[in-house]
Amino acid sequence: MGMAGETLVQQNKELLTELEAGLGYRFTDLRLLQKALVHASYAFEQAQGGNDNQILEFIGDAVLDLVIGHRLCHLFPTMREGELTRFRSSLVNETHLAEMARRLELGRFLCLGKGEDASNGRNKSSILSCAFEAVIGAVFEDGGYDTAVALVHRLFSESIVRKKEELQLADAKSRLQEVLQEKHNQAPIYRLDGEEGPSHRKRFTVSVLFHDRVLGSGQAGSKKEAEQRAAAEALAGLERQQGS
């Protein structure tokens, strides 16, 4: 980053130290963390083309793909490749990485061009997700692979559990259909049992039936999710029957 980078580090020392605390990692070379926070619009304005976070973002993207892919293989050894790919992409897509960035309040630490800053750039998912990848890239460059692995595992542990539940819910309807089609060559029926609450906070109750027998029911803020929950409950019930 040269002299300009040194100056930025001096100017932003307190902020960088605060971000280090949030990450739980101390940099040997703070210029790497600073560079991860420099958006192209800022570098362009300062006539420092190339002194932005794009290369670190490229590295961080690769690190996340590898570390999270490897982690999922170890945590869920029976999962098929297609499922692993979907699971990983739910964790490294722009929406989720921006959510991770917001948890670290990354927007506060960014160096943005004036126009980008004025147009709410600090809260743009595209900018935040790229900056998050760049920070991971900076940790990898500064501390090596094992350090990056430890950080990614710590930052993503809760999300992995949550996304697993979401994916299982999303798959529940198709899995239930497969089970019943295979056994009885018929699909289940979903019945809306109730809607309550104001329009902006509705709760839907749905039952899933097979041959007029209720296999499961679910409640959620959308009909689709209530159906998924009903299917998940039905699957759990069928698995218990098989096990007994």
* Binding site as annotated, residues for Mg(2+): 57, 133
Active site residue 133: yes
CA distance 102 to 105: 5
Stated as kind and residue range, the H or E segment containing 25 is none
Which two three-digit tokens encode residue 220? Answer: 């959620």
**Residue with the two structure tokens 């409640």:** 219
Contact 142, 32 (CB under 8 A): yes
Catalytic residue among 52, 61, 116, 227: 61
CA distance 173 to 242: 19
Beta-bridged to residue 189, according to DSSP, are 209
Binding residues are: 57, 133
61 is catalytic: yes
Q: CA torsion 42→44→50→54, rounded to 10°?
A: 50
Which among 133, 142, 227, 233 is annotated as catalytic?
A: 133
Which residues belong to the active site?
A: 61, 133
